[in-house]
Amino acid sequence: MRHRIIVAGIGPGHGDYMVPAAYQAIRSAKVLVGGRRALSQFATDVQRTMAITRDIPAVLQFIREELAASDVVVMVSGDPGYYSMLDALRREFPEEVLRVIPGISSLQMAFSRLALPWHAARLLSFHGRRPEMEELAYCKGALLGMLTDGEYNSQKISSLLMQQGWPGKTRLFVCERLSYEDEKILRTTLEEAAKESGTGNCVLVIRDERKEEG
Ligand SMILES: C[S@@+](CC[C@H](N)C(=O)[O-])C[C@H]1O[C@@H](n2cnc3c(N)ncnc32)[C@H](O)[C@@H]1O
């Protein structure tokens, strides 16, 4: 029998926001791969585990070896389809080997906390990558949702958006530790955030409240 790699989206972090199919896959896994925080939250002593680090080739090698004997469950934060290890797995293994269990993305969680529909939002990531400048262009009525990292934080991104023509008064929501007990949502503006020390590894929602023309 050919074994599978099950890529399970674990949602924004708190177990309440993980879908039951992901939870069951993680509980019954013989081999479990994931970030250190996810492993400390969900792994049991009887599971063989490997932490996802920057050394992605080593993680892929571990998965390839383990796959000979059993299924491997890979936990990723949020939804696997939005900037996760699924990208690397899809390049390394054939589609038939992969089974993906969706999760609630941190972006979905942020928009729901703000009670904002996100069908018209422009979604971007500053997590270990930089969007093209055109993707940051200002237009009236625009709504942006973005991932950040330690370097590109709320302060740096606010300054960058103002340089791209976004008005300083544009609303900014800094959404930290979504779903956890210490979740924090700061409601501010680009010009205020550009003056403060920045928050990274969070979701930023940027909303221009001026009506679109036409
Ligand atoms: C590698 S990306 C993974 C994105 C993930 N696949 C998703 O759908 O949310 C990690 C980034 O997601 C965001 N993120 C993940 N969990 C979060 C949470 N609980 N609260 C706020 N932002 C979170 C942060 O921007 C973080 O730097």
Would you write out the chain's pLDDT as a tens digit for each of its 214 residues?
689 999 999 999 999 999 999 999 999 999 999 999 999 999 999 999 999 999 999 999 999 999 999 999 999 999 999 999 999 999 999 999 999 999 999 999 999 999 999 999 999 999 999 999 899 999 999 999 999 999 999 999 999 999 999 999 999 999 999 999 999 999 999 999 999 999 999 999 999 988 765 4
CATH superfamily of 107-207: Tetrapyrrole methylase, C-terminal domain (3.30.950.10)
Cα of 85 from ligand 1 centre, angstroms: 13
Closest residue CA from atom 16 of ligand 1: 12
**Among the CATH numbers 3.50.50.60, 3.20.20.105, 3.40.1010.10, 3.40.710.10, which is that of 5-104?**
3.40.1010.10
Cα of 106 from ligand 1 centre, angstroms: 5
Does residue 12 line the site of ligand 1, with CB under 6 A? yes
Does residue 154 line the site of ligand 1, with CB under 6 A? no
Q: How far apart are CA 135 and CA 156, in angstroms?
A: 16
What pLDDT score was predicted for residue 212? 60
Closest residue CA from atom 22 of ligand 1: 202
What pLDDT score was predicted for residue 210? 80
What stretch(es) of the chain map to CATH 3.30.950.10? Answer: 107-207
Sign of the Cα pseudo-torsion (38, 39, 44, 49, in order): positive
Is residue 172 classed exposed, middle or buried when 0-12, 13-18 and 19+ CB atoms within 10 A define those classes? buried
What pLDDT score was predicted for residue 199? 96
Q: How far apart are CA 191 and CA 187, in angstroms?
A: 12
Task: Tell me if 30 sits within 8 A of 68, measured CB to CB.
Answer: no
Does residue 70 line the site of ligand 1, with CB under 6 A? no
Cα of 148 from ligand 1 centre, angstroms: 8
What pLDDT score was predicted for residue 154? 98
Cα of 29 from ligand 1 centre, angstroms: 24
What pLDDT score was predicted for residue 192? 98
Is residue 139 classed exposed, middle or buried when 0-12, 13-18 and 19+ CB atoms within 10 A define those classes? exposed
What stretch(es) of the chain map to CATH 3.40.1010.10? Answer: 5-104
Pocket test for ligand 1, best of 37, 147, 149 (most atoms within 8 A of CB): 147
Q: How far apart are CA 173 and CA 84, in angstroms?
A: 23
Does residue 175 line the site of ligand 1, with CB under 6 A? yes
Cα of 186 from ligand 1 centre, angstroms: 17
